[in-house]
Amino acid sequence: MSDLANKFKNVENKYRPIPFWSWNDKLKVEETVNQIRDMNMAGIGGYFMHSRGGLITEYMGEEWHDNIRAAIDQGELLEMRPWIYDEDGWPSGFGGGIVSGMGEEYQLKYLRI
């Protein structure tokens, strides 16, 4: 095999795909770690942990953070690139209603003419 062909077969993780990873169920640390191992075996270079509709685990709760920590630790162990997509749904900055739930001064405003 040529050197060039070998380089394409052994691409560093930083050059591999980094897809959105939809978190849309009850999160369990053991399952989170298993899925990261599976992604690594499939050639994925990293992942964006992203809360999606169907999430049963409390967004930003203790179990959420336990899974975030496990995902970061496992990603670093496998030299993958873990990213946190920092919102719960859309629009950006919504934070699962936590931000706008802090009161009117934190809610979107606009002027319609």
Tens place of pLDDT for every residue, the chain, 113 residues?
A: 677 777 777 888 889 999 999 999 999 999 999 999 999 999 999 999 999 889 999 999 999 999 999 999 999 999 999 999 877 766 666 667 777 788 888 877 778 88
pLDDT given for residue 110 in this prediction: 78
Joined together, the tokens standing for residue 51 give: 């809360």
Q: What is the pLDDT of residue 100?
A: 76
- Taking alpha carbons only, the member of 62, 67, 63, 68 closest to residue 83 is 68
Q: Using the structure block, give the residue that is written with the tokens 């319609």.
A: 112
Q: How far is the C-alpha of 2 from the C-alpha of 103, rounded, in Å?
A: 62
Looking at residue 102, its amino acid is M
Q: What is the pLDDT of residue 90?
A: 64
- Quote the pLDDT of residue 28: 98
> Is 87 in a helix, a strand, or coil?
strand
